[in-house]
Amino acid sequence: MEQSEVVLRAIGILTQSAEWIRTANRDTDGDIGVEGGAVGGERGSGEGQIGSLLAEVFPSFTVSPESTPLEAAHAVTAAALPPMMQLIGAFTYVFAQLAEVHDSGRTDITSEDLLRELALRMSRPNDAV
- Domain map (residue ranges) of the chain: 3-127
Residue range 6-43, pLDDT digits in tens: 999 999 888 888 787 778 788 776 554 544 444 444 44
Averaged pLDDT score across all residues of the chain: 83
16-20, 53-57, 60-64: range with lowest mean pLDDT: 16-20
Which residues make Cβ contacts (< 8 Å) with residue 47, sequence separation at least 6?
Answer: 36, 37, 38
Q: What angle in degrees, to the nearest 10, is found between the helix axes of 45-57 and 3-28?
A: 170
64-73, 75-84, 108-117, 119-128: range with lowest mean pLDDT: 119-128
For residues 92 and 101, what is the distance between their CA atoms, to the nearest angstrom?
14
Per-residue pLDDT averaged across 48-54, rounded? 84
**Residue 73: pLDDT band by 50, 70, 90 thresholds?**
very high
How large a percentage of the chain has pLDDT more than 90? 49
Per-residue pLDDT averaged across 55-62, rounded? 88
pTM equals 0.72
